[in-house]
Chains A and B, each alone.
Chain A
Amino acid sequence: MLAYCGVVADDLFKALADPTRRTILDELAEKSGQTLFEICSRLSMKHQLGISRQAVSQHLAVLEAAGLVETRREGRYKFHDLNTAPLRQIAERWLVPDTSGPGKSAP
């Protein structure tokens, strides 16, 4: 179980380590359900990123492996959705125990 979590965390941190991938997550947070074409348009027109469609596809594959992006087919179309659930692992990993509970009054 610990090893499994380690693998998941590696994928997650790797996915978040790249600024272009973080920008893709920003754009999907603004609007979920985007086609590859819309993601490419946003990166080039809004962020002036000169990046090929193939490269964007590869970034999306890394984000999908980390569970941060999910793809959904609707008929002939394919849409990408943001899933922030894996980020909870990060917050929970270094969670500081709450010490300000009842029975401990401040001096």
Chain B
Amino acid sequence: MKIHLTSVFVDDQAKAERFYTEILGFVKKHDVPVGEKDRWLTVVSPDEPDGTELLLEPAGHPAVKTYQDALVEDGIPLAQFAVDDVKAEYERMRGLGVRFTQEPLEMGPVTTAVFDDTCGNLIQIATTPQ
């Protein structure tokens, strides 16, 4: 079994597409219309074009906002992305206006930071121990 796709709920797919490609640097993999206004919209890392896809899923269900708000209030991230240098990414993204709820924090072999994806979620970036 493999994890080939995972998802985050986004309040606006067009905005999410811009944030996840222009700010985070992912590339669009699939973009297929579903129903009247929704899309099957996935992105992948440019380093792993055949790697795990991230589905930017419309947050249409009424339960989603309650769930997202509760997690965001407590600072809990929904997904984790690996980066080479958390501090460098933090500086780069902050320069682009991204809001961090947790600044880079070194904890033993791991450094993490948490930011707002502007689509309803907090996301963690982390360096993995070499």
Identify the A interface with B (CB < 8 A). Answer: 31, 34-38, 41-42, 45-46, 53, 76-78
Instruction: Say whether A35 contacts B107, CB under 8 Å.
Output: no
A42 partner, pick from B101, B105, B114, beta carbons under 8 A? B105
Looking at chain B, what size class is its interface with the partner chain? 10 to 19
- Other A-B pairs beyond A41-B107, A77-B101, 4, CB < 8 Å: A35-B75, A35-B101, A41-B112, A77-B72
- Determine which residue in B75, B76, B103 has the highest number of CB atoms from chain A within 10 A of its CB, and name it: B75
14 contacts between A and B (CB under 8 A): A35-B74, A35-B75, A35-B102, A35-B114, A37-B74, A37-B76, A38-B101, A38-B102, A41-B102, A41-B105, A42-B105, A45-B107, A46-B107, A76-B73
Docked CA distance A35–B107 (Å): 16
The 7 closest A-B pairs by CB, nearest first: A35-B75, A37-B75, A45-B107, A36-B74, A76-B72, A38-B102, A37-B76
Min C-beta distance of B118 to chain A, whole Å? 11
* Bound CA span A42–B111, Å: 11
Distance A31 CA – B75 CA, assembled complex (angstroms): 15
Instruction: State the Cβ distance, B124 to closest chain A Cβ, in Å.
Output: 9
